[in-house]
Amino acid sequence: MMNLKRLGHVAICVNDIDSSAVFYQNLGMNLVWKDADWAYLKAGEDGLALLSPGYDQAGPHFGFVFSDRSEMESAYQALKAQGVPVSDLHEHRDGTASFYGRDPDGNGFEYLYEPST
C-alpha cells in the first residue's frame, strides 16, 4: 500500500506565464516560484503549476505528495513492476524529487517527494 500524504498540485498549460501568474495571484494564490517557462503558486498547502507551451519536462498532470522519500521510491519500483509507464526519477532544484507516469487513460500524474517543513 502506497502512503500518499495528499494530492498536492495540479499542473496546467498556459499561453503566457506572466499574465497567468498575475491572474491566479488576483484570485488569492501566492506566487512561490516563477521561471521563464513555468511558475508555481500555492493556496495553503495546495499548488498550481503553470506550464508554458515550450515546457518540455512534463505536460498537464496532477501531483501526489509523499513526505518520506523512501516511500516515494518504493512506489516508483512497485509501479514499474506493475507495468505502469513511468519516467526516470529526477531531482528538482528546490530539494524535491519526483517521477511522472500515465494512468490507463493517458492522464499524467506525478509522484513527488516533498520534505516536511
pLDDT per residue as tens digits for the range 45-55: 899 999 999 99
pLDDT confidence of 104, banded at 50, 70, 90? confident
Residue with grid cell 495546495, as numbered in its chain: 46
CATH number of this structure's domain 7-113, picked from the four choices 2.102.10.10, 3.10.180.10, 3.40.50.300, 3.30.70.270: 3.10.180.10
Give 69 or 57, the one with higher predicted confidence: 69
pLDDT confidence of 41, banded at 50, 70, 90? very high
Give 106 or 50, the one with higher predicted confidence: 50
Give 64 or 94, the one with higher predicted confidence: 64
Q: How far apart are the first and last CA of the chain?
A: 24
- Strands of the chain (E only): list them: 6-13, 30-34, 38-43, 46-51, 61-66, 90-91, 97-102, 108-113
